[in-house]
Amino acid sequence: MKNSIIDVRPLSPTVGAELHGVDLAKPLEERAVLEIRDALHKYGVVFFRDQTIDKAQHLAFTERFGPIKGKSFLGTVEGYPMIGEVRKEPDQSRNIGGDWHTDHAFIANPPLGSVLVARELPAVGGDTMFTNMGNAYDRLSDGLKKTLSTLRAVQAKRQSFKPDAPADRRVDGAEKDKIDQQFAQYEFTHPVVIAHPESGRTILYVNPTYTVRFEGWTQQESAPLLQYLYQHAVRPEFVCRFNWREGSIAFWDNRSVMHYALNDYHGERRLMHRITVEGSPLAAATV
């Protein structure tokens, strides 16, 4: 952008960019907010390095992009109920977000996105991967695009505990019944191909953590096509990998990217603070 305030440095041709020349501890002028929003729409996720922000500044920055989502499935920070803790302790085997997903796909208005701040990091590991679901859609055949444009998909919170989930999340028997009851209210059906609510870009909107099946199809019938879409979406050329370090911040667009928190730092502590921005209804794209 001519005469831009922020220096945008793409991390890959399809997804992710580092934004330099801005201090998030200070109030941002409206022009900087617009440039960050434009980069977010273009790259799906933006990253900031060497930032030093406290909890109040984290909240103030995030609020510039929309109302803050109140309810969280995470533990929260004392005095800041809007800040969720993405925490893994040294004695824990399971992490949060350890599979490809988009946050809260199982509600009527999935979040616009989240701002994640690194607070404590392992010596090595704990990277996060992101994939661009708009680019994944673009690279599908015209015939498959036409088929997908007619479909809707059931998304459910309880699906993250499905029988073929990672071993540390797999449940059955009485525990499965309990989870089914606990999360029964968290289910919603969205178009498989959506129009981005702000940019209008056409996006493939399914994910292996929460998508159950296509509406009107059985899970068995849905599985082969869904598996193909999941594998297609995470082709290496669609993905970037972000290496966290002290002072790192990520802001991702939850409508246009999936993300995956790598769980490769057993025996060490990792603590991140996340604030989520409320979203809007997702409408089917006109294909």
Token pair in block for residue 124? 């090595």
Is 269 one of the catalytic residues?
no
Q: Which domains does the chain have, with CATH numbers?
A: 7-93+110-128+241-280 (3.60.130.10), 133-233 (3.60.130.10)
**Mean pLDDT within 173-192:** 66
Q: What is the pLDDT of residue 164?
A: 56
Confidence of residue 287 (pLDDT cuts 50, 70, 90): confident
> What is the pLDDT of the chain when averaged over all its residues?
91
Token pair in block for residue 225? 């096509």
Buried/exposed code over 23-51 (b: 16+ C-beta within 10 A; e: otherwise): ebeeebeeebeebbbbbbbbbbbbbbeeb
The one catalytic residue among 37, 103, 104, 201: 103
pLDDT by residue (tens digit) across 36-75? 999 999 999 999 999 999 999 999 999 999 999 876 667 8
pLDDT by residue (tens digit) across 200-214? 999 999 999 999 999
Is 103 one of the catalytic residues?
yes
pLDDT by residue (tens digit) across 25-38? 999 999 999 999 99
Is 104 one of the catalytic residues?
no
Which ranges of 12-116 does DSSP label H, i.e. alpha helix? Answer: 30-43, 55-63
Q: What is the pLDDT of residue 248?
A: 98
pLDDT at 168 over 50: no
Is 274 one of the catalytic residues?
yes
Q: What is the pLDDT of residue 162?
A: 60
- Asked whether the whole model's pTM tops 0.85, one would answer yes
The one catalytic residue among 101, 158, 190, 270: 101
Q: What is the pLDDT of residue 73?
A: 67
Which residue has tokens 């178009």? 191
The one catalytic residue among 58, 104, 259, 273: 259
Q: Which residues pair with 114 in a beta bridge?
A: 252, 276
